[in-house]
Amino acid sequence: MTKGLKWAVDLVLYLCALFFLFPIYWMITGSFKSQSMAIRIPPELFPSSPTTANYTKLFAESEVVRWLLNSVLIAGGATLLTCAVATMAGYAFTKHRFTGQAVLFGLVIVTMMIPRQLGLVPLFTLMRNLHLVNNSWSVILPVLALPFAAFLMKQFSQTVPNELLEAGKIDGCSELSLFARLFVPVVKPGIGALAIFVFSFTWNDYLWQLIMLSDEAKMTINVGISTLVSEFSANYGAQMAAATMGFIPIFVVFIAFQRYFVKGITVGSVKG
């Protein structure tokens, strides 16, 4: 390649990255623009007279803090419980033998390939019959059943040497302490990757949360923000402030656990 062509390719590459980052940049800077500046043409690339008025309005006129808290509790709760359930399942699938094991794992593989949306209506009627409409459990429980979580933990559990558990047995460990004291510490990096996956999955499980949580006090951040589009219609600064509030927490999680994100992606797909 000639030097000129190389420069051109690099330029296109960085412009592409810009295309992906621009909406996020525009959202954050827009949240600091006053109503008149937000709709001005030509637009300001960077707010010359930044204002926090949009945030004041957002906190005064919406339940954004409550929604954030709901999201943290729901995503956090779902993550903790799913990790527990899936780690036990991974352990059972790889270190134990029980009747129906192969059939059950076959079902896990098959259901992994069926879109969850197929069960949307029955899951809704089930939750209604359990009186869980507008209850956080209605959006936590289906996450625990994610077949991918059990599949991922089975993959990680396979890497734990059987000799380790055999040695524990010889030393007289009970079944529970074999699991808690020997197995779990070894498989911890896998649990970390799963935790990140489940947390962001639950945080962004918008459609299901939209169906189950219609009471304003029960909404998650994404559902709540989506209702503000009509409430703050044409007030783009306030809409962007709401979107930014939804962006910051998950961004912080991403920065803090970036390597787990990458690990979760590659382990979940192709080996080697």
Partner 1 sequence: MASRAYREFWGFFFILPFLLVFAAFEIYPFLDAIYLSLFDYGIGRKEWVGFGNYAHLLGDEVFLKSIRNTFLLVLGVVPLSVGFSLATASIVIHKSAAVASFFRASFYLPIVTSQVILSIAWLWIYNPMTGVANYGLSLLGIGPVMWLSDSSVTLIAVILVVITWCVGQPFILYMAGLGGIPASYGEAASIDGASPWRKFWSITLPLLKPTTLYIVVTTTIGAFQTFVVIQLLTGGGPNYSTTTIMYLLYETAFKYGNLGLASAMGVLLAILISMFSLIQFKFFRSDVEY
Site string for partner 1, 56-75 (x = CB under 8 A): --------------------
3-state class (DSSP) for residue 185: helix
Alpha helices by DSSP H, 145-257? 147-157, 162-170, 175-177, 184-186, 188-203, 206-212, 221-231, 236-256
Residue 86 or 195: the one with the smaller Cβ distance to partner 1 is 86
Query: How far apart are alpha carbons 232 and 255 in whole angstroms?
Result: 30
- Using the rule CB under 8 A, is 172 a contact of partner 1? no
Q: Which stretch binds partner 1 (CB under 8 A): 56-64, 159-167, 186-194, 206-214?
A: 206-214
- Among 8, 24, 69, 180, which residue interacts with partner 1 (rule: CB under 8 A)? 24
Contact 194, 177 (CB under 8 A): no
The angle, 0 to 180 degrees and rounded to 10, between the axes of the packed helices 147-157 and 258-268 is: 90
Position of tokens 């949307």? 120
| Footprint of partner 1 on 109-148 (CB under 8 A) | 109, 111, 113-115, 117-126, 141-142, 144-147
| Footprint of partner 1 on 228-267 (CB under 8 A) | 229, 236, 239-240, 242-243, 246-247, 250-251, 254, 258, 261-262, 265-266
- Using the rule CB under 8 A, is 164 a contact of partner 1? no
- Among 8, 11, 13, 256, which residue interacts with partner 1 (rule: CB under 8 A)? 13
Q: How far is the CB of 211 from partner 1 (least distance, A)?
A: 6
Query: How far apart are alpha carbons 38 and 32 in whole angstroms?
Result: 9
Contact 88, 98 (CB under 8 A): no
Q: Which stretch binds partner 1 (CB under 8 A): 8-16, 53-61, 62-70, 159-167?
A: 8-16
Among the listed residues 96, 93, 189, 81, the one whose alpha carbon sits nearest the alpha carbon of residue 150: 93
- Using the rule CB under 8 A, is 179 a contact of partner 1? yes
Q: How far is the CB of 52 from partner 1 (least distance, A)?
A: 19
Is there a cis peptide before residue 42, judged by omega within 30 degrees of 0?
A: yes
Q: How far is the CB of 51 from partner 1 (least distance, A)?
A: 17
Residue 10 or 215: the one with the smaller Cβ distance to partner 1 is 10
| Footprint of partner 1 on 211-230 (CB under 8 A) | 211, 222, 225-226, 229
- Among 43, 50, 161, 185, which residue interacts with partner 1 (rule: CB under 8 A)? 43
Lookup: tokens for 27 = 């959202």
Contact 82, 191 (CB under 8 A): no
Query: How far apart are alpha carbons 200 and 45 in whole angstroms?
Result: 31
